[in-house]
């Protein structure tokens, strides 16, 4: 789909009012549209062109976990689109004192034009979306992180020129990032391999779903325990922390389990010569990645972090525009 002009973006709205709970709520063409729109908005911003399709609109942002990128990119993003963001820490709103998600959803629907939520259970996000009459965006759960992957796909596409056929090797924990990356890769026709130790593989049902999608879209999904094998021919190496938010108590146990799964120069040297290194951040240098890799010439982590802004502006424009 070509982004013809501003009118096209504002008026041609097959997205209006929809939620983003997982990437597979959308088709390949729709994800491509969002990525095209993200590139367009990035370009407009770089040229200093003001574009405010969400003037007068308000996004509520519920956080039950910490955040730097998600909070700031959504808040800056809605502001740049002409709207306003309200940060709602679960410590301060009544949800933290037991008000139901269903009641919260209905109350907030009366005030806002969209809700972004970062929480623990995917069920909470589903419950919120079920009772809200406005779009709900998943800003990370224990199971998924779709907004991060939208930005990641934008980043890979802008560097590699396309997504189909690109090989991404993910090394480390089979967590929320892997689940969303796996679905995104399957949908977009990529080759995606996860190397994770026993006991830390991605969810079996999500892997099955990704493999089914992969068959439909000419993609390839696989899981191995061998990082050296996984990175062979890889154009992208991706990793994430070994202990995610909520797993802080398992830090020591995980450091032992993930020994041998560090992304370092030796592992990088086994990949394709055009390999880029990606990490959703925050990173723990010396654990899942060495400082010389994340701060080295193959790393695109800050471009990736910046694209959170552009990808989410595209998402908000599509879902919350008129
Ligand atoms: N990558 C990411 O979602 O970062 P934050 O936890 O800082 O939002
Ligand atoms: N897997 C990490 C991602 C942080 C953006 C976590 O859930 O903490």
What residues are annotated to the active site? 118, 145, 148, 240, 280, 308
CATH architecture of 148-304: 3-Layer(aba) Sandwich (3.40)
**d(C-alpha 255, C-alpha 120), whole Å:** 22
Read off the pLDDT band of 255 (50, 70, 90). very high
Give the residues across from 114 on adjacent strands. Answer: 59
> Ligand 1 pocket check: which of 154, 280, 284, 303 to mutate, most ligand atoms within 8 Å of Cβ?
280
pLDDT band with cut points at 50, 70 and 90 for residue 4: very low
Residue 81 burial (CB count, 10 A): 24
Per-residue model confidence as pLDDT tens digits over 67-115: 999 999 999 999 999 999 999 999 999 998 999 999 999 999 999 999 9
Do 6-145+308-320 and 148-304 come out as alike in CATH topology? yes
Is a pLDDT exceeding 60 seen at residue 275?
yes
Laid out side by side, the sheet with 191-195 consists of: 220-224, 191-195, 167-171, 236-239, 276-279
Give the distance (Å) from ligand 1 centre to CA of residue 215.
31
245 CB less than 6 Å from ligand 2?
yes
pTM for the complete prediction?
0.96
Write out pLDDT tens, residues 168-226: 999 999 999 999 999 999 999 999 999 999 999 999 999 999 999 999 999 999 999 99
* Options 3.40.640.10, 3.20.20.120, 3.40.50.1370, 3.40.50.300; CATH of 6-145+308-320: 3.40.50.1370
Residue 259 has pLDDT above 70, yes or no: yes
Q: Which strands make up the sheet holding 114-118, listed edge to edge? A: 84-89, 58-63, 114-118, 136-138
- The closest-lying atom of ligand 2 relative to the alpha carbon of residue 70 is 5
Q: Which ligand 2 atom sits closest to the C-alpha of 247?
A: 8
Domain ranges in the chain are 6-145+308-320, 148-304
In the reported structure, the alpha carbon of residue 42 is separated from the centroid of ligand 1 by a whole-number distance in angstroms of 20
Run of H or E including 192? strand 191-195
* Mean pLDDT, range 304-314, rounded to an integer: 98
Q: Is the model's pLDDT at 12 over the cut of 80? A: no
Q: Enter the DSSP assignment of 191.
A: E
The atom of ligand 1 lying closest to the CA of 118 is 8
pLDDT bracket for residue 1 (50, 70, 90): very low
* pLDDT score for 322: 77
């Amino acid at each position: 789909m070509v982004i013809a002009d501003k009118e096209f973006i504002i008026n041609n709205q097959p997205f209006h009012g929809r939620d983003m709970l997982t990437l597979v709520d959308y088709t390949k063409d729709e994800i491509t549209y969002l990525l095209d729109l993200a590139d367009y908005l990035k370009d407009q911003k770089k040229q200093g062109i003001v574009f405010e399709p969400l003037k007068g609109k308000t996004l509520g942002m519920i956080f039950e976990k910490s955040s730097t990128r998600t909070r700031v990119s959504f808040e800056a993003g809605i502001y740049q689109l002409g709207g306003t963001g309200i940060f709602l820490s679960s410590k301060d709103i009544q949800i933290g004192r037991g008000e139901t998600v269903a009641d919260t959803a209905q109350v907030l629907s009366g005030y806002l034009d969209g809700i972004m939520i970062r929480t623990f259970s995917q069920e909470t996000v589903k419950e919120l979306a079920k009772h809200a009459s406005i779009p709900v965006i998943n800003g990370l759960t224990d199971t998924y992180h779709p907004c991060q992957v939208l930005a990641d796909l934008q980043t890979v596409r802008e560097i590699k020129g396309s997504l189909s056929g690109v090989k991404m090797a993910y090394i480390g924990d089979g967590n929320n990032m892997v689940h969303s990356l796996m679905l995104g890769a399957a949908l977009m026709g990529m080759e995606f391999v996860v190397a994770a130790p026993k006991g830390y593989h991605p969810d079996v049902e999500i892997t099955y779903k990704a493999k089914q999608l992969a068959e439909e879209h000419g993609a390839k999904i696989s899981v191995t325990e061998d990082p050296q094998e996984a990175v062979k021919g890889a154009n992208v190496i991706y990793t994430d922390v070994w202990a995610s938010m909520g797993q802080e108590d398992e830090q020591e146990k995980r450091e032992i389990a993930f020994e041998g799964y560090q992304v370092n120069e030796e592992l990088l040297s086994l990949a394709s010569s055009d390999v880029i290194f990606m990490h959703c951040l925050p990173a723990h240098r010396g654990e899942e990645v060495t400082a010389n890799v994340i701060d080295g010439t193959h790393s695109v982590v800050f471009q990736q972090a910046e694209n959170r802004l552009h990808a989410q502006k595209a998402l908000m424009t599509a879902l919350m525009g008129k």
